[in-house]
Structure 1
Amino acid sequence: MASPLLDPSRVSTPPAGAEVALREEVAQLRQEAERLRRLLETAAQVTWSTNPARDALAPISPSWTTFTGQTEEQMRNQGWLLALHPDDRAGALAAWERAREGTQPFATRYRLRRVDGAYVWMLARSIPVLGPDGSVHEWVGTCIDIQAQVLGEERAAFLARASELFASSLDASATQESLASLANLSVSALADWCIVDVLRADGHFERVQVVSADPSQAPLAATVQRLTPVPRERPVYPPAVALATGRSTLATEVTDAVMQSVAQDADHLETMRRVGIRSLLTVPIMARGHILGALSFLVTTSSRRYGDEDLRFAQELANLAGLAVDNARLLQGAREAIRLRDEFLSVASHELKTPLTPLSLKLQALSRAVKSHPDSPLVPIIEAHVETGHRQVRRLTELMNDLLDVSRISAGTFRLQREEVDVAEVVREVAATFAPRFVLEHCEFQVEAPESVRGCFDRVRLAQVLDHLLDNALKYGPGTPVSVRLVADGPVARLTVRDGGIGISPEQRPRLFERYCRAVSERHYGGLGLGLYLTRTIVEAEGGRVSLDSRLGEGATFMVELPLTRS
């Protein structure tokens, strides 16, 4: 197709003496026009122009005719729009009319129907050719195939949506729901039908979702879902092949002979015929080398046929699904392990507390017996051993109680028994029980509290909070000053425990109140890492909060704020 700017018919007649030169110039122009035409055809699938001598709205384009099958006559009176996808016609026409009204370049994207009936995304561009008077003589344009680019954009967007679905799947049931949602997404973008098979916890495969793009096919979809995906000894049915061997299947063209060759039985064959499969691909859902399920995509209504690129994309999608399913199962396994651990700790705590009671009674009896023989030289030695025994029994009892509290929190049975409490009195009582221990550790110990600070709290749990904080100060600040200060500030009571011990590094502080968390090595310091976790749990259950201010090597200050009034 010659460019209108290089059309020899538009060259004015020269004087007779220049005829030879004119012919040479015309020949050169024709060669240049042919070169430009071939260059343009190389760059674009379709080229076109309007003929100003006929109808400015009727494109002239042999390449359009070749691509779409439309004749020049069919293109007249906006007939070229009929070769566009119905959803793209209005937008293309509006863009074309805006360009013509303002003599601006025309550019838009639309799906153009190929002669075989398949739609291909095109980037359509056109510019006006202006005459000496500034009026538009004609329009020349191109249509460039951008199918691969648009398909890449659509698939990237699809994978992003699928990733969002799976990112919200934190357990097995949510992941199964996400797989169902993925099937619904797929029938709008990848297939006319989507089938999802997954491995259940009992080791059997289950067909969890079958979706058809046509809602009227719901009864047939239910029939397909009832088909068993269980692999046979030598499977040939594509989903069964994926589930049994982890191999993908790509059937570009599914004929009746193909359906007969893969049918598991007569009912299965009849169902496949009713579905009307034309093209199919199945990919396994796998993670860490294990087969977790399969995704099957079917084309039944359009001329689309799956190819290698579709297979690669489907496998990428299956990899996302496999990661989500595997993560959900790992999470479920971890939760079950935690449940069993907490159950064991609860049982163990009860069992370990059982011998502690008679041991404590025996120590008390021994203490009374020793006191009945005050003149014996063994009395001081025995009393020292008895006191050590009492301390260890109390320590074991506290550890067992902590473990029981953790199991109650995990089971959701942790409860507070609130009553009218004098917080200052509780502080003094707990401090008094710790005073001898601070003396043994050569710690200067100060307690500052007003005469009375009253509120509604669980007295035992409140004492437990201070007990854990003082035990923490004693453990990590031996030989350093430790202070306890209680103040009432309007509707809030503030309890501060400060030590001059080893301190806590900044990176450890955010996780210090978590269960079993320790900021130091267990080889140098005892404990289960539960004291601060229980402190936070109790304080927050009372409607308060606990905070920490510490620097490594400069001690630590814990502040507990508790509401003295409740709404």
Structure 2
Amino acid sequence: MRAKLHSVDDAYWHWRNGGYLVYLQGSIRSACIAFLFRFLPPRPSLLPITATMRTTLNNSGTTDSSELDQIRDWKALHRLSTQLLKTNSTTAKLAEVLASVVAFHHTSRAVISIHDPGLECLTVRASIGMTKQEVEELNRIKLSEGCSGAAFAERDRIVVENFDKDERFEAFHPWAKANHVGAVYSTPFYDDDTAIGVVTVYFGMPHTPTAREMELTDICAGTIALILGRELADASSRQERERRNKVLAHMDEGYIVLAHDFTVREMNHAAVRMCQRPIADMIGKSHWKVWPEVNDTEMGTMFRRAMSERIPLWIENRWVSPSGDVGWYEVHAQPIDEGMAIYFRDITRRKTAEQAVADSEARYRALAENTSEVVWRADATGMVCEMSPGWARFTGQTSAESSGEGWANAIQPDDRAGLLAEWHAAVATGMDYMTTYRMRRSDGQYRNMISHGVPLKDKDGHVREWIGLCQDVTALREAEEIARQENVHKDEFLAMLGHELRNPLSAVRMATDLLERTDFGPERTAHFARVINRQVAHMTRLVEDLMDISRISRGQVSLERNPVDLCAAITAAAEQLRPMMNAKQHRLTLDLPEEACIVFGDHVRLVQVAGNLIGNAARYTPAHGDITARLLIEAGKALFTVSDTGIGIEPALLPEIFNLYTQAKMTSDRQSSGLGMGLTLVKSLVELHGGTVTAMSDGPNMGSMFSVTLPCAATN
């Protein structure tokens, strides 16, 4: 409540019975009027009552009109306090206060606006006599603007006695005229020293507020601040309770509150779940009657000590539930004002895990004795003193045969001397030992092995013994060799790619040089243009094939699936390759069924498959050779074959014919052009369509045949 403090002789407020008792000093018959304003919460200091309100009765026992007004005001405030005591809703309380404000001012319009820290405007919390549109307009007025915004920003009352003549709020003159506002004044209210809102009173005509009106408004503004402050406190308390209840409800740990006499007062859901009995059987009953089995245990002793000595304690306790389940719980007892809080969580998994670790260590020891890997131990001098059973199984040597340096007899003779030299050097230096060699397996096959040994040293750094492991890495070495061969094939492919690009580039460069240096006629110029176009088209195909392979390998190719006539796709592919085959005078035979062969796939990609197979046949078939493209429908599947009378395929290359690098190797003699990427694309695209592709050849110069099988589309 913001007002000047007058002398204590004028008036004072005293807290009594949950409200403020207001004493007004008077001289008539030593009487005073006391008003119990029960709604207001206690304040540590006296609250102001102005001197103009101190006298209610004159010495003659009569009252003038101003005194009667004061008495009516106090009665109105008393009625307001009574209504506020009867009302629980904050909205209803604010409406009651606002109704009193407009009654005090003999007007019909007023609002209570509060500030939300997240907004730049005041928000109307309660209003009387205002239309919905007027409230919306007030909500759009920013802080420091308008009468209410200025009062809030300046933390002082703002009075506009005549809107038409007030230059400070000239921007709001149209609004005032449109809403029939002749005068207005706004009074800020506070929570401690922080402004939280404004109460604003509107008058239809120019109006100068009286001291009485402003004093009553101050009282009401203070009341509003207290209402909102209590609402905020209640909300904070409610949120705190909700947070606490939510935390307790979602805790994995059990939570029990015991009174000082060990009566169970509160339990969360986890506690009820873990105790495995109805909550009604536990709440309100003695802990010792609910869980009598705890009475004479270490945990029971801990509970009594924690309660009596008011100290926190904890224990890990093995517990058997009423259903017979055995578990482990970590229990904490924490003294609190109400008595004692017990937190307990199920640590059965942890205990089980600890036991599992112990069991695992035991299994590891057993595994070291029975593993397929070869575990060995040697003394400080390097003499083997123990070989695991795995050594005997792997090499066939007995313990006596492998002791000392007898184990070296299982090493491939070419590797034996070097291995022993490395081992002796490691023993002499006490450094970790790792080497590779070939060792004879019990079946007589030599396997690639890697051996790693580490010295175990005493506190003085002297080697006490050696422990180590021998591992068969033959499969790893084979994989490395395959990878090496892949790299070789890749290098060959890149070399061929460079050759394939260099030839057309050379032709293009030669043609462009001639065009720049010599003035040829139209026919000659057109010839060079055709050369350039042909070579550029060749390079474009190479690049497109490479990009297709890259996209397919990364899974970035998506098919536009539709019913496709495979006969039409094969015919279209053959027509695209007709110039190439005519140049080599190939005889192409298309053996296609008369009816349509419908498959569900991507027309463009299927044309690409057929084109690559026919083009591959043309590329590796000498001039005047025969090429046959045939399509059959068998058992709901389309079988498309392309056979030729060309150079054929080495039998050893057939299993890898669709591998990109294998193709490069096959064509490295440069007797035919191309990189062989087409077959790689064919395989990938056919598999994307759910089909298969195979290659057959009887050998060099015996021709070849490629077969594609695709599922036919279902017919109605």
Same fold (TM over 0.5): no
Between structure 1 and structure 2, the one with the greater Rg is 2
What TM-score results when the alignment is normalised by the length of structure 2?
Answer: 0.32
Q: Compare the two structures and name the one with the higher helix fraction.
A: 1
TM-score using structure 1 length: 0.39
